[in-house]
Chains A and B, each alone.
Chain A
Amino acid sequence: MKYVDEFRDPQLIARAADEIRRLADPGRQYRLMEVCGGHTHAIYRFGLKDLLPPNIELVHGPGCPVCVLPMGRIDDGLAMAKDPRVILTAFGDMMRVPGTRGSLLECQARGCDVRIVYSPLDALRLAQANPDRHVVFFAIGFETTAPSTALTLKRAMASGTANFSVFSNHVTIIPAIRAILDSPDMRIDAFIGPGHVSTVIGCRPYEWIARREGKPIVVAGFEPLDLLQSIVMLLRQLRERRAEVENQYDRVVPWEGNRAALDALADVFELRPFFEWRGMGFISQSALRLSDRYAAWDAERRFSVPGVPVTDPKAAQCGEVLKGVLRPPDCKLFGKECTPERPVGALMVSSEGSCAAYYTYVHRKLVAEARWVSARQAPA
């Protein structure tokens, strides 16, 4: 409640929470999946779970690009960085993600030229400023980020920048949702749809979830009130036995998406036949690689990399947490071997990873409370 009280209109929040309690049938259990990692972060940050009745469970989905990247791809990026001609560029989020033989940050400490960029355009600019070097951009992200990489590649082609390439790890959200629905150990009643991905792809790509799978989905914004309102909309659908795509975030998300961004994606990328996701295995047509026209800018075609799938450390249960089968604290390593300071799995690295969010906003509070209770119980 502490965080929610900071919000401008606690009365509206309380009203939405009342409506949720009114709509939820006490005789049934609800499992709602928020697909997007930004939503996971907001849910923990604002303590929204405290506002929900106990029979509504929020299951954290796969929408954190850093978290779903398998270790083998990090190893491939590290292999490129070891080439002395190469400047490897990546977003800051990637730096601490562990590969089999350390992270990009550790590679940098050992002398590799690894640099943080805040935009793929900055990686291209770095290439133009360093014509004697080769700049690789380690691209990650869902459909929110992929159009920016696409426009950067169009720029690279237009300017004839030959010492620049992209290591594409862009993934697409729809096949991941399909894999979750096909997974035998998953039972999800409805989905909170991703906000910023939908500004690009729009709402139509979700229609099969409602029509064929019979599951309601509401595209939601990131404010506490947005998330509570979207839960109200989902409960209404479930109560009235409707399954539709609804857009709670229509102040930002156009139903048809962003045409310019979709065109750029179609021009530059093509679907990979399959791609490995951490914890979820190989998912068909779930990732983007550069099309043949852009072969000259494709780091995977320019560098020979191990390309070996690597299994996660055995004790870490990232996969189960990522699929929503386990809660973060149920993993054997959580808060012991694996903490935000010393992450074993990627879910503990990104602020959008459910383990890092749980650790920051729930675990620390529980530990402090336990210490306080035991201090009071200790004999004077």
Chain B
Amino acid sequence: MCLAIPGQIVELHPELLDLATVAVSGVRRRVNIGLLDGQEVRVGDWVLIHVGFAMNKIGEAQAREQMRMLALLGEDLAAADEFNGILDRGPGDPP
């Protein structure tokens, strides 16, 4: 639960409040970007994801570092499961 998973923003949805599609190791999920504190978010940006929310923007090198870190901690599978487990919201789906 306390994992911070690095992912890359692959699609923005201006029509869906605070949602962006993020990819982690090829898996795509819509996550909430409402906690990014007014920072400008672009496709290609890297973020740290925690329980379905992007917590902050990070650099690409740092994202790779974080992924390697999770692997070293033996938590990369747990992180992948956690990210896969997030329900995928289709456009028009609540919330």
Chain B contact-residue range equals: 35 or more
* Given A119-B53, A125-B89, A45 contacting B35 (CB threshold 8 A): no
Q: How far is the CA of A124 from the CA of B69 in the complex (A)?
A: 31
Q: How far is the CA of A261 from the CA of B83 in the complex (A)?
A: 21
Task: Please give, as numbers and ranges, the residues of chain A lying within 8 Å of B93 by CB-CB distance.
Answer: 125
The answer to whether A121 has its CB under 8 Å from any CB of chain B is: yes
The answer on a CB contact under 8 Å between B35 and A128 is no
Q: How far is the CA of A295 from the CA of B55 in the complex (A)?
A: 27
The answer to whether A72 has its CB under 8 Å from any CB of chain B is: no
Task: Please give, as numbers and ranges, the residues of chain A lying within 8 Å of B55 by CB-CB distance.
Answer: 144, 196, 199-200, 258, 261
Output the nearest chain B residue to A164 by Cβ-Cβ distance. B95
The answer on a CB contact under 8 Å between B94 and A128 is yes
Secondary structure type dominating chain A contacts: helix
Scoring B residues 84 to 95 as 1 if CB is less than 8 Å from chain A, else 0, what string do you get?
011101000111
Contact of B48 among A161, A252, A261 (CB under 8 A): A252
Q: Which B residues lie at the A interface, using CB under 8 A?
A: 1-2, 4, 18, 32, 34-38, 48, 50-53, 55-56, 58-59, 62, 65, 68-69, 72-75, 78, 82-83, 85-87, 89, 93-95
A-B contact pairs, 17 of them (CB 8 A): A66-B1, A91-B1, A91-B51, A118-B52, A119-B51, A119-B87, A122-B52, A128-B95, A140-B1, A145-B1, A155-B95, A196-B50, A199-B56, A222-B69, A223-B69, A254-B56, A351-B78
Please provide the 3 A-B residue pairs with the shortest distance between their CB atoms, ordered closest to farther.
A119-B52, A118-B85, A260-B37
